[in-house]
Structure 1
Amino acid sequence: MAATTAQFPDLRDRPVLVTGGGSGIGAALVEGFAAQGARVSFIDIAEAASRDLAERISATSAHAVAFYHTDLRDVGNVKSTVAAIESDFGAVRVLVNNAGWDNRHEFDTVTESDWDDSQAINLKQMFFVAQAVAPLMRSAGGGSIINFSSMAFMLNIPDIPVYATAKAGIIGMTKNLAARLGPEKVRVNAVMPGMIATERQRALWLTDESMAAMVARQCLKHVLTAEDLVGPTLFLASDCSASITAQSIIVDGGIL
């Protein structure tokens, strides 16, 4: 699907932070916000690809896109990186908690290390990035936090027990943070993608047969790509959704 052509004028010049923005869905989101004229920064652990992405988008965007190399599993690094972003960009008004890692695990062989590492990447870091950014949003008079979950935990898939647990937890966290931060004019919502055919998914797990089977279950008969997540995320970031919080938007082509 082509990148969204919708325009959200209120996002122009607005400071936006995307985690896991160096590839896949995150890269599409970085590009989508930059196309709106937002002042975009993103965090990723993959340095070379992220620098290339920032340079490519910055060549045509209204504002230079800034990449910050950070391991989100380290809470101290998260805090210092958010402080650096505030110094460079001002108060973050939009946080897209996109970073995650969807490794497969067999239930009988999951180790404590597997569990802890997956929860650190997929759930823990989202909470602490939000915690670090919330004071900036308060100082700016409000903001929007968008947490990326997944519809995968609703499909009874057998080989993602740790990942599915984290993604379910994100929905609970989203609703709790919405209640806590709403009085301070900070909205918190979640996006739940379906099967998104990113380069990583195609390389590791997706086949022509599996994609065809998923499309057959969808109401909309096309393979979903990272660009399909851009429009819903821009909407939740913009003032168009000013009265929407504690909600989860499923983007799956109509399976659920």
Structure 2
Amino acid sequence: MTSSANASTDAPTSAPTSASVNAPADAKARHAHESYACYPSLAGRVVLITGGATGIGASFVEHFTAQGARVAFFDIDASAGQALADELGDSRHKPLFLACDLTDIAALRAAVADVKAALGPIEVLVNNAANDRRHTLAEVTPESFDAGVAVNLRHQLFAAQAVAEDMKSAHAGSIINLGSISWMLKQADLPVYTMSKSAVQGLTRGLAKDLGRYGIRVNSLVPGWVMTEKQRRLWLTDEGREAIRRGQCIDAELLPEDLARMALFLAADDSRMITAQDIVVDGGWA
């Protein structure tokens, strides 16, 4: 359940470490006052996040920036994306925002090339962009089917393709694909979305096998119902709150930062032997 300097400086370490610390003071992240793990291997690492302007994606941008990573992010919402980059402008490395329609694969490839020219080879890819617009089976047309697959699945493969050669050369890298528990729960009125998100699992496992021999890890991060501003505004009702209460084992709201902090771990050297996995962060619902 989800919405929409050059050169690498850190090679994988033989003894990765993390510590519980306050978020780095040089980042103006919304959650900088909270204490969470700091991963030294992420400092200076080039991280690309798709769909990073709002919601879960914005939390990814904030958290990786707070780790001292060199973050680039794409989004179709140019205004929100630039506003987030400006908000984090006093960070050690100001995020680089590029407006991009990820359903246009030529534009995606060009934007990836621009990131590499500006920051150097991409070492971490977070395939986050998606759109969970509700739709019934009767409403699906061939055109809307293709559009749903394009926004929720296709760009994940082509973004991975665009960064894979540099990761192969470095014999290191982490690709994180965002899935969804919606198909696990047999959620209604989302047939193209649930189909696309279930396919993320297959994409992840296939890429993990293809790329693992080059030291590249590929995992899917699978959110439950994350309480973004969009979800609260469009979909969350009293009935929805009751479904969360009944479904989750943990009686608390799932927030974007819960996903971002798991993404940090999956991107860091601390998770060096974790690949081909579906990491579910949903409060115990699926």
Which TM class, normalised by the smaller chain length? over 0.9
Query: In angstroms, what is the RMSD of aligned CA positions?
Result: 1.1
Write the mapping of 1:1-256 to structure 2, written as runs, cut at 5 A.
5-59=36-90, 61-256=91-286
Taking the aligned partners of 2:147 and 2:272, their CA distance within structure 1 comes to: 35
Taking the aligned partners of 1:121 and 1:140, their CA distance within structure 2 comes to: 29
**Secondary structure at the counterpart of residue 273 of structure 2:** coil
Taking the aligned partners of 1:194 and 1:149, their CA distance within structure 2 comes to: 9
Cα offset, 1:4, TM superposition: 5.6
User: Runs of at least 4 residues of structure 1 off by over 4 A?
Assistant: none
Cα offset, 1:158, TM superposition: 1.3
Q: Answer whether contact 1:42 1:66 (CA < 8 A) is retained.
A: yes
**Secondary structure at the counterpart of residue 25 of structure 1:** helix
Range with greater deviation from structure 2 (147-156 or 3-12) = 3-12
User: After superposition, what is the alpha-carbon deviation per residue over 1:28-69, rounded to whole angstroms, capped at 9, x for unaligned?
Assistant: 00000001000000011100110000000122x110110011
Taking the aligned partners of 2:63 and 2:246, their CA distance within structure 1 comes to: 28
| Structure 2 unaligned regions, length at least 5 | 1-30
User: After superposition, what is the alpha-carbon deviation per residue over 1:63-86, rounded to whole angstroms, capped at 9, x for unaligned?
Assistant: 011001111111111111111100
Structure with more of its chain in helix, by fraction: 1
Taking the aligned partners of 1:229 and 1:215, their CA distance within structure 2 comes to: 19
| Structure 1 unaligned regions, length at least 5 | none
Cα offset, 1:233, TM superposition: 0.5
Taking the aligned partners of 1:211 and 1:72, their CA distance within structure 2 comes to: 32
TM-score (norm 2): 0.87
**Other-structure match for 2:22:** none
Taking the aligned partners of 2:245 and 2:70, their CA distance within structure 1 comes to: 35
Range with greater deviation from structure 2 (74-83 or 172-181) = 74-83
Letter in 1 for 2:194: A
**Secondary structure at the counterpart of residue 183 of structure 2:** helix
Cα offset, 1:137, TM superposition: 1.1
Range with greater deviation from structure 2 (100-109 or 173-182) = 100-109
Range with greater deviation from structure 2 (199-208 or 233-242) = 199-208
